[in-house]
A and B are shown apart, each in its own frame.
Chain A
Amino acid sequence: MSALARIFHKGLVRNIPKSITFYSVTAEKKDDDEFRVLNLKVTKGRSAQRRKPYKANILPPRTTQMPVDQDWGSVWPGPRTFHPATVPLPIRQGYVEKGASPDKYGNPELMKIPNFLHVTPPVVKRQCEALKKFCTPWPKTLDTDEKCEKFFPIEVTYSSYCHSSPTIRDPLARIVTLKMKLSSLKLDDHARDKFRRLIGDRYDEKTDTFTIVTDRCPTRKQNYEYAMYLLTAVYHESWAVEPWETLKSEADMEYYDWNNNASKKTVEQMFKKEAKDIENINEYITAVSSLMNEGESDYTVNNYGLAVRKLLNLPIENT
C-alpha cells in the first residue's frame, strides 16, 4: 500500500515538470501566422530559431481581371489614395534624367498627389441626378437681374472655410457683409441726406450702394442679425427730424440748392412771377446747380451761358 502510494507520489512529482515543458514547447512551436511571444526569461544555450523569410501568396493585380465596360464609380466610390492594382491606367510619375519615368507600382509620388478618380464625369452626372430631387426650381418670374434686384434688394455675403483640421470653426467665417442700393430704400430728400451722413464712407457714390460689414459678434448669425438691426436703425433714424435740424442755414449746406439761394430770388424779381412759371427755367436751374456743385469747367460754363441765353430769349451764338 505504502509502495503504491510512493509510486503514485513519484509519478506526480515527475509529471509536473513534464507538463510544464510540454506547454513551453507548444509556445515555441507556433506557426508563422502568430505574433511572437515576448520571452522575458531568456534561456541560454538554445539559440533562437532563424525565421524563414515570409513568402506571401499574392494574387495578380485586380486590373488584369477588370472588364472594359465596368462601372468605374463602384470600383472607386470615394476619395482614396492611388492604388496601382486598382487603377487600370498605365500611369507613370517621376523625373528620370535619361529614360522613362518610374511606373505606377511602388511609386509613392502617385500616392502623394491628390487624385480625382472618384469624380469622373459620369459619376458627377450621376450624383447631380441623385441630388436633383432635393433642389427647387428657380422662380420663373425672376428671369432678369433687374427683377432680382428689385424684389431682393439686400445682398448678404459671408464666407465659409474648409480646413483640413478637426475644427470647423474659423474666426473669419463670422464676418457678414450687407450690400444694398440706396435708391431701393424709400427716402425723401431730408432722410436721404441724413442717411448718407449716418453711414458715412460706407456709401459708394459710383454704384449708389452702401455696405455694412459686421464682425463684432462671435457667430455669423449674430453678426447677420446685428447688420439687419443696424440697417433698420439707420433707416428709421434718418426719417426722424430732430428739433435742432431746423436750425440748418445756407452756410451749413453741403451742396448748392437753387431753391434756397439768391439766384432764385433775383430771377423771380426780374420776371415778376413764380419761378416754376418761367419758361426754360429747369434748364437754367440744372446749369446753375452743376456749375456751383461740380465747379467751373468749359462744359459747365458753356452750359450756363446757353441756359442764360435761352432764359432771357437772347440769340444763341453759332460758334
Chain B
Amino acid sequence: MSINNIKQSLFKLSQFQQHTKYAIHTTAACHKSQAGRYRITPKKDFPLTYEMANPPHQIAHRKSWNSWNTSSTEGGLRTSETAVEDMFIRKFMKGTWHGLFMSEIIIKRQHNMIRIAGIVLQSISSRKMYFLIGYTEELLSFWLQCPTKLELQTVSDKKDVVFKYI
C-alpha cells in the first residue's frame, strides 16, 4: 500500500466520521414549529386556555413566564438546580393534585421562598383541598429546604378557564 493510498483511505474515514457525527442527535429535538401549538379540529370544539392559545413566541408579549426567578439574570446562581427543582415541583403537583389543575403551575421564587400558584377545579371537598395544600407545602418544604407556599385560585367549572375553541 503506497502512502497515497493510506492518505486517501484516511481522508475517506475522516469524511465518514464527520457525517456520522452530524447524523446522530445527542440532544432532544426542539420541534420549534410544533411545540406549544394546537391543530384546529374539524368540529372546532377543542378547548384552549389563554396559555395554550398563545404559542411560545408570544411569551413576554401576550403571556408571561410560568417560572419566575433570578437564575437567568447575569451572574444568576443555581441555574440548573432551579430548573430541575421547578420541573420536580411541576411533576409533584401534577401527581398530587391529579386532574385538578386547570392552568399551568406557576412557580415564583423570592429569596428562599417558593410560591406555587395555579387555578384548581372545585371538584373535591374543601377538606380534601386543605389537606392537599398542607401536604404539598410540608413535603416540598422538606425536600427543597425552602419555605413553600401554595396560593391557589379555584374555579367551579372547566369552562371557566377556556379562552377559545378551535
Q: Does the CB pair B119–A56 fall under 8 Å?
A: no
Is B112 positioned at the interface, with any CB of A under 8 Å from its CB?
Answer: yes
Is B57 positioned at the interface, with any CB of A under 8 Å from its CB?
Answer: no
State which size class the interface on B falls in.
35 or more
Contact with A along B106-125 (1 / 0, CB 8 A): 10111110010111001111
Is A53 positioned at the interface, with any CB of B under 8 Å from its CB?
Answer: yes
Is B151 positioned at the interface, with any CB of A under 8 Å from its CB?
Answer: yes
Q: Given A108-B103, A109-B50, A165-B71, are A81 and B151 neighbors across the interface (CB < 8 Å)? A: yes
The chain B residue sitting closest to A170, CB to CB, is B77
Q: How far is the CA of A164 from the CA of B146 in the complex (A)?
A: 11
B110: chain A residues within 8 A (beta carbon) = 79, 164
Q: How far is the CA of A167 from the CA of B78 in the complex (A)?
A: 9
Q: Tell me the chain A residues, 212-270 only, with Cβ under 8 Å from chain B.
A: none
Q: How far is the CA of A79 from the CA of B149 in the complex (A)?
A: 11
* Interface-side segment among A10-18, A64-72, A111-119: A111-119
Q: Does the CB pair A112–B106 fall under 8 Å?
A: yes
Q: Considering only CB atoms and an 8 Å cut-off, how many residues of chain A contact the other chain?
A: 34
Q: Does the CB pair B153–A56 fall under 8 Å?
A: no
Q: Does the CB pair A163–B77 fall under 8 Å?
A: yes
Q: How far is the CA of A107 from the CA of B153 in the complex (A)?
A: 9
Q: How far is the CA of A105 from the CA of B97 in the complex (A)?
A: 20
CB distance from A62 to the nearest CB of B (A): 13
A80: chain B residues within 8 A (beta carbon) = 151
Is B89 positioned at the interface, with any CB of A under 8 Å from its CB?
Answer: no
Q: Does the CB pair B160–A112 fall under 8 Å?
A: no
CB distance from B21 to the nearest CB of A (A): 37
Q: Does the CB pair B127–A95 fall under 8 Å?
A: no
Q: Does the CB pair A111–B76 fall under 8 Å?
A: no
Is B94 positioned at the interface, with any CB of A under 8 Å from its CB?
Answer: no
Q: Does the CB pair A107–B50 fall under 8 Å?
A: yes
Q: Given A108-B103, A109-B50, A109-B64, are A163 and B76 neighbors across the interface (CB < 8 Å)? A: yes
Q: Does the CB pair A166–B145 fall under 8 Å?
A: yes
Is A90 positioned at the interface, with any CB of B under 8 Å from its CB?
Answer: no
Is B25 positioned at the interface, with any CB of A under 8 Å from its CB?
Answer: no
Q: How far is the CA of A287 from the CA of B61 in the complex (A)?
A: 66
Q: How far is the CA of A80 from the CA of B106 in the complex (A)?
A: 13
Q: Tell me the chain B residues, 2-58 only, with Cβ under 8 Å from chain A.
A: 49-51, 54
A32: chain B residues within 8 A (beta carbon) = 125
4 interchain residue pairs of minimum CB distance:
A164-B109, A81-B151, A108-B103, A81-B117
28 CB < 8 A contacts A-B: A33-B127, A56-B156, A58-B122, A58-B156, A81-B108, A81-B115, A102-B50, A106-B119, A106-B153, A107-B50, A108-B119, A109-B63, A109-B64, A111-B106, A111-B117, A111-B153, A112-B63, A112-B64, A112-B108, A114-B108, A161-B75, A162-B70, A163-B76, A164-B69, A164-B110, A165-B81, A166-B146, A167-B77
Additional pairs, 13, CB under 8 Å, beyond known A58-B154, A106-B155, A108-B51: A79-B110, A80-B151, A106-B102, A108-B118, A112-B68, A114-B108, A161-B75, A163-B77, A164-B69, A165-B70, A165-B71, A165-B81, A170-B77
B residues with CB within 8 A of A: 49-51, 54, 61-66, 68-71, 75-78, 81-82, 102-104, 106, 108-112, 115, 117-119, 122-128, 144-146, 151, 153-156, 160-161, 163
